[in-house]
Amino acid sequence: MTPKLEVKDVKVKSIGAGLKEVTATVENKQMMPTHSGTNLKYKIDPPDYIFLDGGQVIAGMIVLDRDRNLAQEQKKDPQKLEVQNIDGYSHVDLKWIVKGGSKFTSGLKVSREEGFAQSE
Protein backbone atom coordinates (compact mmCIF):
# COMPACT_ATOMS: atom_id res chain seq x y z
CA MET A 1 0.00 0.00 0.00
CA THR A 2 1.28 3.44 -0.90
CA PRO A 3 0.01 6.96 -0.20
CA LYS A 4 -2.54 8.30 -2.66
CA LEU A 5 -1.99 12.04 -3.01
CA GLU A 6 -4.22 14.51 -4.79
CA VAL A 7 -3.65 18.22 -5.40
CA LYS A 8 -7.04 19.94 -5.22
CA ASP A 9 -8.88 23.17 -4.50
CA VAL A 10 -6.44 25.43 -6.34
CA LYS A 11 -7.93 28.91 -5.89
CA VAL A 12 -6.77 32.34 -7.01
CA LYS A 13 -7.72 35.61 -5.26
CA SER A 14 -6.57 39.10 -6.23
CA ILE A 15 -5.12 40.97 -3.24
CA GLY A 16 -4.29 44.25 -4.99
CA ALA A 17 -1.13 45.93 -6.30
CA GLY A 18 -0.92 43.32 -9.09
CA LEU A 19 -0.54 40.47 -6.56
CA LYS A 20 -2.56 37.30 -6.29
CA GLU A 21 -2.97 34.77 -3.49
CA VAL A 22 -2.96 31.19 -4.78
CA THR A 23 -4.03 28.45 -2.39
CA ALA A 24 -4.02 24.69 -2.83
CA THR A 25 -4.62 21.58 -0.74
CA VAL A 26 -2.69 18.31 -1.00
CA GLU A 27 -4.72 15.43 0.38
CA ASN A 28 -3.51 11.93 1.24
CA LYS A 29 -6.43 9.57 0.65
CA GLN A 30 -4.73 6.45 2.01
CA MET A 31 -3.74 5.34 5.52
CA MET A 32 -0.03 5.20 4.59
CA PRO A 33 1.92 8.43 5.21
CA THR A 34 4.35 9.72 2.60
CA HIS A 35 7.29 8.92 4.93
CA SER A 36 7.58 6.35 7.72
CA GLY A 37 8.85 7.27 11.19
CA THR A 38 12.22 5.66 10.46
CA ASN A 39 12.39 7.42 7.13
CA LEU A 40 11.83 10.78 8.83
CA LYS A 41 14.26 10.05 11.68
CA TYR A 42 17.16 9.11 9.40
CA LYS A 43 16.15 11.33 6.44
CA ILE A 44 16.25 8.40 4.02
CA ASP A 45 14.09 10.00 1.32
CA PRO A 46 13.82 13.68 0.42
CA PRO A 47 10.77 15.63 1.65
CA ASP A 48 7.63 16.06 -0.42
CA TYR A 49 7.86 19.03 -2.81
CA ILE A 50 4.78 20.99 -3.82
CA PHE A 51 5.37 23.60 -6.49
CA LEU A 52 3.50 26.34 -8.31
CA ASP A 53 3.92 27.40 -11.95
CA GLY A 54 2.29 30.35 -13.66
CA GLY A 55 3.76 33.58 -12.30
CA GLN A 56 6.58 35.12 -10.28
CA VAL A 57 6.27 33.66 -6.78
CA ILE A 58 7.00 36.33 -4.13
CA ALA A 59 6.29 34.16 -1.06
CA GLY A 60 5.38 30.55 -0.33
CA MET A 61 3.79 29.30 2.89
CA ILE A 62 2.53 26.15 4.57
CA VAL A 63 -0.79 27.02 6.23
CA LEU A 64 -0.82 25.97 9.89
CA ASP A 65 -4.34 27.20 10.75
CA ARG A 66 -6.63 28.33 7.95
CA ASP A 67 -9.25 29.82 10.31
CA ARG A 68 -6.76 32.08 12.11
CA ASN A 69 -4.76 32.77 8.93
CA LEU A 70 -1.54 31.36 10.43
CA ALA A 71 1.16 30.19 8.05
CA GLN A 72 4.85 29.35 8.11
CA GLU A 73 6.77 31.07 5.31
CA GLN A 74 9.51 29.24 3.45
CA LYS A 75 12.15 31.85 2.63
CA LYS A 76 14.34 29.72 0.34
CA ASP A 77 12.84 28.81 -3.06
CA PRO A 78 9.21 29.79 -2.25
CA GLN A 79 7.97 28.38 -5.55
CA LYS A 80 8.80 24.83 -4.39
CA LEU A 81 7.52 24.21 -0.85
CA GLU A 82 9.07 21.42 1.25
CA VAL A 83 6.69 19.31 3.33
CA GLN A 84 8.42 16.75 5.57
CA ASN A 85 5.47 14.33 5.66
CA ILE A 86 1.79 14.05 4.80
CA ASP A 87 0.13 11.70 7.27
CA GLY A 88 -2.45 9.14 6.23
CA TYR A 89 -5.99 10.44 5.76
CA SER A 90 -4.82 14.04 6.21
CA HIS A 91 -4.09 17.11 4.13
CA VAL A 92 -1.71 20.03 3.87
CA ASP A 93 -2.89 23.54 2.95
CA LEU A 94 -0.50 25.79 1.02
CA LYS A 95 -0.44 29.43 -0.01
CA TRP A 96 1.64 31.44 -2.46
CA ILE A 97 1.74 35.19 -3.15
CA VAL A 98 2.31 35.66 -6.88
CA LYS A 99 3.00 38.62 -9.15
CA GLY A 100 1.58 38.31 -12.66
CA GLY A 101 0.28 35.18 -14.29
CA SER A 102 -3.31 34.14 -14.94
CA LYS A 103 -3.19 30.37 -15.27
CA PHE A 104 -1.62 28.48 -12.36
CA THR A 105 -0.57 24.86 -12.04
CA SER A 106 0.23 23.30 -8.69
CA GLY A 107 1.98 19.97 -8.59
CA LEU A 108 3.77 17.67 -6.25
CA LYS A 109 6.84 15.52 -6.37
CA VAL A 110 7.05 12.80 -3.76
CA SER A 111 9.50 9.94 -3.59
CA ARG A 112 6.67 7.62 -4.71
CA GLU A 113 4.45 9.62 -7.08
CA GLU A 114 3.67 12.89 -8.83
CA GLY A 115 0.42 14.79 -9.37
CA PHE A 116 -0.88 18.08 -10.76
CA ALA A 117 -3.90 20.38 -10.48
CA GLN A 118 -4.67 23.54 -12.42
CA SER A 119 -6.62 26.75 -11.97
CA GLU A 120 -7.40 29.39 -14.56
* pLDDT tens-place values along the chain, 120 residues long: 788 899 888 999 999 999 999 999 999 999 999 999 999 999 998 899 999 999 999 999 999 999 999 999 999 999 999 999 999 999 999 999 999 988 888 888 876 655 555 554
Q: Of all helices (H) and strands (E), which one includes residue 115?
A: strand 114-119
> What CA–CA distances, in Å, run from 100 to 47, 67, 74, 79, 108?
28, 27, 20, 14, 22
What pTM was computed for the model?
0.89
